Amino acid sequence: MGRHEHLVRRLSALPGPGTPRDYLQLLGPTLDGILEEAGDLAGALVERQLASSTYRPTPAELRTTWMAMASEAGQRRDESIRQRSRRCPYCEGRGQVHAAVRTRIRGAERVRTYAVTCSCPRGLQLAGKEGARRMDRAELETTAQRQRAANEWADGVVALYVDDATKGARPEWTRWAPAVEPPATGGNLRTFQSRR
């Protein structure tokens, strides 16, 4: 049997058909695999199963208990992330902010909109999701600064707008001219590069 033999023995001590030895021989390896999957929570899983069972659990019953524990842990983690993110002064718990980048290429100006992740816990959670990688706000600002137009005739980034309710002073080049309204967001784009 595996490294969780002592925990499986505790489960075998419950009443049930056959002997505890039969239970260990027949179901022990399967139960040990489930406990291995539970990792550091294997002890807590057995305690919970012992508290809720009046007979020896089958592997399916132990797995059901494990799935319930994993789901509860995920819900608690998500709620904790939501609570911490609600206090974020930038995104107010959404995990992302909208940004617009105005660029000049060969004299023609155009605006691209982005949904970029915030640096709060919810934003970090969104950035780590599978699928299309999301750019975070710092990456967008760094890239825009690096590609900033050197003067009013040069190609590059002309203005950057981040709709994040920031109160602090930001470099003048990141502000839109008063006559120009930032556009509505067009969704998240995976890359930001000015085409030269």
**pLDDT tens digits for range 6-42:** 888 888 888 888 888 888 888 888 888 888 888 888 8
**pLDDT tens digits for range 48-79:** 888 888 888 888 888 898 888 888 887 887 77
The whole-angstrom separation of Cα 9 and Cα 23 is: 9
- End-to-end, the C-alpha distance of the chain in Å comes to 64
Q: Is 72 left (phi over 0), alpha (psi -120 to 50) or beta?
A: alpha
**Rounded to the nearest 5 degrees, what angle is found at the Cα of 84, between the Cα atoms of 82 and 86?**
65
Residue 101 parent element (H or E): strand 96-105
Mean pLDDT, residues 109-137 taken together: 77
Q: Against a cut of 0.85, is the pTM above it?
A: no
The domain ranges of the chain are 5-86, 96-174
